Structure 1
Amino acid sequence: MDPWKEEVEMISEDADTPRVALVTGSSTGIGAAIAKRLSREGFRIAVIARAEEHTHATVGWIRGNGGTAHGFAADLSRPEEIEDLFTRFDARFERLDALVNNAGMASIADSTSMPLRHWNRVLTLNLTAPFVTAQCAHPRMTQGGGGGGVIVNIGSVYSRMSVGRRAAYVSSKHGLIGLTKALATEWAPDGVRVVAVAPGYTETDHVRVAMEDGGFDSAAVVSRTPMGRLAHVDEVADAVSFVCSERATFVTGSTIYVDGGWTGYGGV
């Protein structure tokens, strides 16, 4: 039997497993670490990437370690694909307890010459898509006897501060914190918590490539970080795991910075 088809049958029969998490951008890096960590906490996982084949590594790891996962393809820059994603999600899972908005894109460009299409692309993926996924998640967390849930928006140290040549990225990540506060305030009566987790520079392939391409200097980043190193993906995943747990039931509308002291450093 096709192992991917077999897992679909397993999910439909596994109605007693208590919790389900949908993690966007979870094929690699921070998103994959979050999906794996939540799986170890007992969540069934919907792994989301732009192409379904990109989900196979994370899905395979979760299944190989005794968890339940299914991969979905969606271009989150297109609202209609987000809506279709949740329709397909409903065919595999009967509930939704946690949404992690991790998918996003970095951007380095001079503000004097940045094309508007570039600005729109960054804002669409980093800010509009999390809003649309949250809109889709809310009724699935609250209707039909749902007891609520948690939405985790993955921000950045640049959700709080700025640096040159990153106008689109910084604006999108600042906006994501505003969205977190707004939805947390509005949806608290519905039992839906909304929290942001904001990593500093983290050891991922994307960061490594950016360093190699001259986007920033690794030594400068390390020297700027009070703890003297980059974050590990598992450290970010641990923070998300806490937010999604019963230990964080009174945490909403706030931002947890996992940055080794970056945002607290005064530069002296």
Structure 2
Amino acid sequence: MPHEFDLTEPELTADDLLVLEDPHFGPETTAVVTGAASGIGQATAVALAANGLSVIGADIDDDGLTETVDLADDIAVAGTIHPVTTDLTDDADVEAMIEVAADQGELRYVANIAGMQHIASIPEFPMEKYDFIVDIMLRAPFLTAKLAMPHIRATDDGVGAIANMSSVHGHYATQDKPAYITAKHGLEGLTRAIAAEGEGTLRGFSVSVGYVLTPLMVNQIEGTADERGISKREVVEDVMLGQARTKEMMTPAEVANLFVFGFSGHGKHLNGGDMLWDGGYTTTYE
């Protein structure tokens, strides 16, 4: 973290974004990004637009989507972001989201990023919360893939990719996040299933990171500090990043760049695999 330990989400600038030359990165190509109204989803929508793509930014938060479009305009991205209000628990909304993407151009890329969290032990976990989390984070990505795959296959070369936002919690489990962990492990399986059916040109991959400096995460840090009577620095370095070797939270832009790389031709051998970018969180221990 910065020396003064600033927990403000960094302002996204054009210099933060990975921009690559790719034959499919142009206005004729569309990409769907869910959860595009904030955090990682917002940064990914802007990053893909910076690479010249026509991006369908989907979220239930209209105001947040407007902020995403404004952010893209502020940094003068080469592509465009088309906001589409989408309730991922509504099948008709998901179908409409994909149809808008197909109408805008050649649908080649999907980034399933939308997610949420609820903290409770398994015996105390409300089933309505479990159902909602699994609907948003596993069922909706499955339906999105089901609807998007025929469009990707219908392009002239069948090249495209469906990427799923996983997590270190797609690799291991901690206490009191059972629905989130279940969904993330399921996403790893969905990723491999997409790869198995994609015939090489239609790829599936996932992105797994640790803690990312988003407004939601800042709220969790401040709440944990108050609850435990410790400093915010101690929350991040000892509680959240205690197992990691890199004592720094990622930024949304850094995660967004992983999606850009994975979608590009540089990622053509990334198929069924996971981009584990966690600072050693899941691969080292003391």
Q: Of 97, 103, 106, which residue of structure 2 is paired with 1:85?
A: 97
Verify the 8 A CA contact 2:28 2:105 in the aligned structure 1.
no
Render the CA deviation track for 1:109-130: whole Å, top value 9, x for unaligned.
1211212211111111111110
Number of the residue aligned with 1:73: 85
Number of the residue aligned with 2:277: 258
Query: 2:170 aligned with 1:150, yes or no?
Result: no
Number of the residue aligned with 2:8: none
Q: How does 1:37-52 map to 2 (within 5 A)?
A: 37-52=47-62
Render the CA deviation track for 1:239-260: whole Å, top value 9, x for unaligned.
1111011111121000011111
More helix by percentage: 1
Q: Equivalent residue of 1:99, what SS?
A: strand
- What is the number of equivalent residue pairs in this alignment? 250
Q: Residues 23 and 223 of structure 1: is their aligned pair in 2 closer, same or farther, counting only changes over 3 Å?
A: same
Please give the alpha-carbon distance, in whole angstroms, between the structure 1 residues aligned to 2:255 and 2:131: 27
Shift of 1:219: 3.0
Q: Equivalent residue of 1:77, what SS?
A: coil
Relative contact order (alpha carbons < 8 A, sep ≥ 6): 1 or 2 greater?
2
Q: Structure 1: where are the runs of 5+ without partners?
A: 1-15
Q: Structure 2: where are the runs of 5+ without partners?
A: 1-25, 229-234
Number of the residue aligned with 1:10: none
Number of the residue aligned with 1:124: 135
Q: Structure 2 counterpart of 1:158, which letter?
A: H
Please give the alpha-carbon distance, in whole angstroms, between the structure 1 residues aligned to 2:130 and 2:66: 31
Number of the residue aligned with 1:228: 247
Number of the residue aligned with 2:20: none
Q: Equivalent residue of 1:165, what SS?
A: coil
Which shifted more, 221-230 or 197-206? 221-230
Number of the residue aligned with 1:170: 181
Coordinate RMSD, CA, aligned: 1.8
Q: Equivalent residue of 1:263, what SS?
A: coil
Query: 2:200 aligned with 1:200, yes or no?
Result: no
Verify the 8 A CA contact 1:231 1:260 in the aligned structure 2.
no
Render the CA deviation track for 1:3-60: whole Å, top value 9, x for unaligned.
xxxxxxxxxxxxx734221111011111111112112222121111103332111112
Q: Structure 2 counterpart of 1:242, which letter?
A: F
Normalising by structure 1, report the TM-score: 0.87
Q: Structure 2 counterpart of 1:231, which letter?
A: M
Number of the residue aligned with 1:98: 109
Moved over 3 A (4+): 88-91
Please give the alpha-carbon distance, in whole angstroms, between the structure 1 residues aligned to 2:121 and 2:158: 46
Shift of 1:225: 1.6
Please give the alpha-carbon distance, in whole angstroms, between the structure 2 residues aligned to 1:248 and 1:219: 32
Verify the 8 A CA contact 1:150 1:244 in the aligned structure 2.
yes
Please give the alpha-carbon distance, in whole angstroms, between the structure 2 residues aligned to 1:61 and 1:197: 24
Number of the residue aligned with 2:13: none
Please give the alpha-carbon distance, in whole angstroms, between the structure 1 residues aligned to 2:214 and 2:44: 13
Please give the alpha-carbon distance, in whole angstroms, between the structure 1 residues aligned to 2:89 and 2:96: 13
Normalising by structure 2, report the TM-score: 0.82
Please give the alpha-carbon distance, in whole angstroms, between the structure 2 residues aligned to 1:18 and 1:247: 20
